[in-house]
Chains A and B, each alone.
Chain A
Amino acid sequence: GQQLNQSPQSMFIQEGEDVSMNCTSSSIFNTWLWYKQEPGEGPVLLIALYKAGELTSNGRLTAQFGITRKDSFLNISASIPSDVGIYFCAGPGLSGTASKLTFGTGTRLQVTL
């Protein structure tokens, strides 16, 4: 099946620093989604990417859909304490409309003051 690997596994950064995380796939995706999950909560959709090479921003977050369709990255600029959480990439299957999502392994972000 499709697998998504994320790196780094965890990050400890200081408030104000920029963050970059990566997601790579063993197969092609036509859509990339980035979610954030806080402890005890469900994943919250941050950004959706639909075209190879697409660069999309949502506030301090920027994500790009890799040209090969097998990778994506998420950047967070000027991190703040509320950025703490686990960031997951996800992609729908190629079986058709509204396919199941395959989630990545996650990047845990900790922000210190």
Chain B
Amino acid sequence: EPEVTQTPSHQVTQMGQEVILHCVPISNHLYFYWYRQILGQKVEFLVSFYNNEISEKSEIFDDQFSVERPDGSNFTLKIRSTKLEDSAMYFCASTGLAGSYNEQFFGPGTRLTVL
């Protein structure tokens, strides 16, 4: 069964460093998302992406964040200068035709630890 994949599974970085999180959405999906989950809390929306541009973003998604679809399969989240409070699980999701684009399928996540 097709699935969303994410790499790396765990990223440790120093405060102020740039990180890039990688995702490969399900191949025939058209809408892509990033969410994050701080330990013990609920999943929070960061950004959605469609047709090579951001379609919606949350207050969390400030100028330090950017997304890119560099080729036909990858979808990346870049954090330019990481802060301690960026430590969280980051999930990529995608959706296609199923359920009129409402059924989002999530990857296994990247655990980001900022020291």
Residues of A near any B CB (own CB < 8 A) = 31, 33, 35, 37, 40-45, 48, 50, 88, 90, 92, 95, 97-106
Contact = CB atoms under 8 A, between A and B. Distances in A.
B48 A100 contact: yes
A42 B56 contact: no
Contacts of A45: 103-106
B75 interface: no
Contacts, number: 66
Interface residues of B, number: 29
Given A88-B42, A100-B48, A42 B99 contact: no
A99 B91 contact: no
A90 B99 CA distance: 14
Interface string B88-115: 0001010100011111111111010000
Given A31-B99, A43-B91, A98-B50, A103 B106 contact: no
